[in-house]
A and B are shown apart, each in its own frame.
Chain A
Amino acid sequence: MVKITYIQPDGSSQTVDATAGMTVMETAKKHMIDGIEAECGGACACATCHVYVDAAWREKTGGPSDMEEDMLDFAFDVRPESRLSCQIKVTDALDGLIVRVPEKQF
């Protein structure tokens, strides 16, 4: 099992079990994490599963692909650590991953 921690804008956090192969978005939806909307269902087509990857994890998750970067244009308050969580696949290497949910998903 891989642990992922989601931190809300108010500082509260939830650590949940994730399965390798699922995405960080799917894991959030499964555990009903607030603030991850994923309107398009994971097609990298809506930018409503935007998260900020914790600085310590940015190297392991990598940065956004070109398509994801384009889609991030539709997100609000985009930062260098911004990712769309539907595009981050859970792997064993991400055990302990910390992501922050933005104030708003638009």
Chain B
Amino acid sequence: MAEGNGTSTPIETDAVIIGAGPCGLFAVFELGLLDIKAHVIDILDRPGGQCAELYPEKPIYDIPGLPVVTGQGLTDSLMAQIKPFGATFHYSQRVDQLAKLEDGRFRLKTDLGTEFIAKVVVVAAGGGSFTPKRPPLAGIEAYEGTSVFYSVRRMDDFRDKDVLVVGGGDSALDWTLNLQPVARSLTLLHRRDDFRGAPHSVEQMRALVRDGKIALLIGQMTALKGGNANLSAITVKTKDGETDVAANRLLPFFGLTMKLGPVADWGLNLNENLVLVDTEKFETNTPGIFAIGDINWYPGKLKLILSGFHEAALMAQAAHKIVYPGKKLLFQYTTSSSSLQKKLGVS
């Protein structure tokens, strides 16, 4: 499995699957049985989508044949099931552009610059792309990218700055520990004096506080101060009242939320943020672009993983006609077909 190549030479493939959640993963299987090679792109750094991000440890009870399975367990099983098909995964990237070429194929480009040319595109993006939660503070948008960051891409952006890190999990703690040596000053703000992060990180953070190298503040942000995209202070409500923390860098860590994102810009017919498809092929209004799983809508749609699996199977039949025009598709069962079993590596 390769990471994104980040170059401008497009990767040519049969299918690009957008989203590595359960439906995207099972699409690899269904396409693979029909000899359709796939590349899978996901904004998270690992497969599983919502199953991995929102409920890795929570039990799921409605997967046929599995009385109970966790989100992570289902993801791991699907990864094992699709292994024979050798799909290539591109993590931590979001597909920003999707356009149809004159030869009927599609060109895709991610935010990291990886480009693909594919005969079919399968949008299996679930609730959309996971994006960091933006604290609902008035005017925060104006500071984003200059003073407010939701991740650290370059440590240098924080060198000799007055940094306020907000949150109580591993991201907040890790970046507190990592940025402390480069920042001019660093304050960690959390709503309670109790941290979810790894105990070792919590200890290290507490030691820095004891040594006077960072400040720990218990409270919540209520307002931002500054101008011209440059933050100067953050108003914080503590149990003793409101106080201003001088800072020109803010790193809020409040988890992730799902946003439809660029999917809305690809000319696909939508119904309230869901992609409209037919129920024979699960194809969008653009032939060759399919949508399966939670992201699609059709009359009677149920947002169930099992429905997405069914959609993947029917989508693959239609995709075969595009990838192998004129080639007759013989319907076969994995139980009895030696050719399918060969593809699965079991015969």
By a beta-carbon cutoff of 8 Å, the part of chain A in contact with chain B is 39-40, 43, 45-48, 69-70, 72-74, 76-78, 103-104, 106
Contacts and interface: CB of A to CB of B under 8 A. Distances in A.
A73 B135 contact: no
A12 to B, nearest CB: 20
A48 B257 contact: yes
A47 B257 CA distance: 10
Contact of A78 (B50, B58, B220): B220
Contact of A46 (B168, B194, B257): B257
Interface residues of B, number: 22
Contacts of B220: 76-78
Taking chain A's interface residues, is the majority helix, strand, or loop, or is none over half, making it mixed?
A: loop
Interface string B231-260: 000000000000000000000001101100
Interface of B: 50, 54-55, 58, 127, 133-136, 167-169, 190-192, 194, 196, 220, 254-255, 257-258
24 contacts: A39-B127, A39-B257, A39-B258, A40-B54, A43-B54, A43-B55, A45-B58, A46-B255, A69-B192, A70-B196, A73-B167, A73-B191, A73-B254, A74-B254, A76-B135, A76-B136, A76-B254, A77-B220, A78-B220, A104-B136, A106-B134, A106-B136, A106-B254, A106-B257
Nearest to B55: A43
A64 to B, nearest CB: 11
A73 B136 contact: no
B54 A74 contact: no
Contacts of B168: 73
Contacts of B190: 73
Given A73-B169, A77-B220, A103-B136, A47 B55 contact: no
A74 B258 contact: no
A22 B159 CA distance: 51
A45 B51 CA distance: 11
Contacts of A43: 54-55, 58
A46 B54 CA distance: 7
Nearest to B135: A76
Contact of A47 (B136, B196, B255): B255
A43 B135 CA distance: 22
Contacts of B254: 73-74, 76, 106
When A and B form their complex, which 7 residue pairs have the shortest distance between CB atoms, in order from nearest? A104-B136, A74-B255, A45-B54, A43-B55, A40-B54, A106-B133, A73-B168
A69 B195 CA distance: 11
B100 to A, nearest CB: 32
Contacts of A69: 192, 194
Nearest to A105: B136
Nearest to B191: A78
Contacts of B55: 40, 43, 45
A106 B135 contact: yes
Contacts of A40: 50, 54-55
Contacts of A106: 133-136, 254, 257
